[in-house]
Amino acid sequence: MCGRYAITSSPELLRDAFGYAEQPNFPPRYNIAPTQPVPIIRHERRGDGVATRHFVLVRFGFIPAFVKDPKSFPLIINARSETALDKPSFRAALMRRRCLFIADAFYEWQAGRKPKRVFMVRRPDATPFAMAGLWECWMGQDGSEIDTACILTTTANGTLAALHERMPVIIDPKDYGPWLDCDGVEAREAIRLARPAADEALELIEVSQAVNRVANDGPFVQAPLRG
């Protein structure tokens, strides 16, 4: 699963990597947690019909449009890609509101151990990557609106399988366009991009229990565990 992750690259590097129109000065975040504001990338069409990528802040925690009271609805941070098209909570978003989560790393806890060992998962070259997501605009009865999003998951690859049976869907850069193009690429075609990353695409680095505390948000949470 993916409930904690990090965005630490410079704004300039991220903008070059993902090609969005804005120039946000998003600060480094080493321990992003559910319910916090997070950046996603999504397509928006101009008046002339041309779609461009945009950087948007949303709440990490998906609220389906049909929910009456978010306080009584379970927090959704992940959705299984294999069943998203069949679930009323996600079907419309998969068809019309696909997005990308920006990340440099995410954290995973080794199942079956107490205390659980914590691992930072990243690309071997430490470059940013995109996790497939869905977003939704929830509207309250008073007219208030909240943009929310969740991360899609798939079966763990060989690297992650020792920690957990699931992993976030990581979209290859060549597939950013098809994934975001909800007008031109149907959901059944887009969901084929939701597959496990190659085993060699990611590495595991054991870190300390500091990441367990949401208030800890600095480079020290990513320090490799020694000894």
Chunked in runs of 10, what are the mean pLDDT values of the chain (227 residues)? 92 95 93 97 80 94 91 92 96 97 97 85 98 94 89 97 95 97 96 97 96 96 85
CB 84 within 8 A of CB 132: no
pLDDT at 47: 66
3-state secondary structure of 49: coil
The size of the chain, in residues, is 227
pLDDT at 142: 81
The string of DSSP letters for 67-124 reads -S-GGGS--B-EEETTTGGG-TTTHHHHHH-EEEEEESEEEEE-TT-SSPPEEEEE-T
**Nearest residue to 17 via CA among 207, 174, 190:** 174
pLDDT at 187: 97
Round to whole Å and give the CA distance between 212 and 216: 8
**Within 13 Å of residue 52, how many CA atoms lie on the same side as its CB?**
11
pLDDT at 1: 66
pLDDT at 10: 95
